[in-house]
Amino acid sequence: MKNIVILISGRGSNMQAVVEADIPGARIAAVLSNNPDAAGLAWAAERGIATTALNHRDFADRDAFDSAMAELIDQHQPDLVVLAGFMRILTPAFCARYAGRMINIHPSLLPAFPGLHTHQRALDEGCRVAGCTIHFVTAVLDDGPIIAQGVVPVLDGDNADTLAARVLTAEHRLLPQAVADFVAGKLSVSGKRVQNPRSVAADAQLLV
């Protein structure tokens, strides 16, 4: 069994998708958050999953928060750490500690639109497609080796909310699959490229 620790900051719908996928060989060891009010924490706790909130406001700086979070994570002996809507910038030391075993989901087709407000930025640039990316985490924000990408169309009447909702359906499909591929040992990284013997062509199909 591979232990999975999931970090969230809010709603936690991607975390829910991973939990509900019931991935063979995976055990959701804990759901942790920097936000005590994260709705996803209550959802996970109701299902008997260990949950803890560590409020980043209680720490003097990023290093102190990340060290405490790492200590908490390591109590669960994680094989994989999943950032599922975890809205904190991580220190290089934290990223190095989980190198090769920490993945993030980001709501854009990286390398386009790292950072925040991805959907509005895609609309402002006139993009005709948008989507999400799952990648290994490195110390560079939203930049690590790409595991999977899901693509959706941008429709004429879209605003940031309608586009976000369409991208989210792709996120919910892709993240459990990426976790399953990691758990099954299918992912190998060479430079910035991730090899996956499972056919990933379907991941990139346009979701209408």
* Total of residues contacting ligand GAR (CB under 6 A): 15
Supply the DSSP string of 42-95, one letter for each residue: HHHHHTT-EEEE--GGGSSSHHHHHHHHHHHHHTT--SEEEESS---PPPHHHH
- H/E stretch holding 151 reads strand 146-153
Could you give phi then psi for residue 134, rounded to 5 degrees? Answer: -115, 130
Residue 106 is a catalytic residue: yes
Strand partners, 102: 81
Kindly report the backbone phi and psi dihedral angles of residue 21, in degrees, each rounded to the nearest multiple of 5, phi listed first.
-70, -20
Contact pick of 4, 5, 12, 200 for ligand GAR (by CB under 6 A):
12
CA distances from 126 to 49, 123, 129, 153, 194 (A): 42, 5, 9, 12, 29
Among positions 107-136, residues that touch ligand GAR (CB under 6 A) are 107, 132
Q: Least distance in Å: CB of 202 to ligand GAR?
A: 20
> With binding defined as CB under 6 A, does residue 8 bind ligand GAR?
yes
Among 14, 34, 35, 177, binds ligand GAR (CB under 6 A): 14
Report d(CA 95, CA 66) in Å as an integer: 10
d(CA 189, CA 121): 30
Q: Which residue is nearest to ligand GAR (CB)?
A: 85
Residues numbered 132 to 171 that lie near ligand GAR (CB under 6 A) are 132, 168, 171
Give 55 or 188: the residue with its C-beta nearer to ligand GAR: 55
Residue 44 CB, nearest distance to ligand GAR (Å)?
Answer: 12
Binding to ligand GAR (CB under 6 A) within 20-79 occurs at none
- Minimal distance, residue 83 CB to ligand GAR, in Å: 7
Active-site hit among 56, 76, 106, 172: 106
Distance CA 33, CA 52 (A): 7
- Out of 80, 90, 105, 154, name the contact with ligand GAR by CB under 6 A: 105
Contacts of 61 (CB under 8 A, 6+ apart): none
Stretch that binds ligand GAR, among 23-31, 45-53, 57-65, 81-89 (CB under 6 A): 81-89
Query: For residue 180, how far is the Cα from the chain centroid?
Result: 13
Interface positions with ligand GAR (CB under 6 A): 8, 10-14, 84-85, 87, 105-107, 132, 168, 171
Catalytic residues: 106
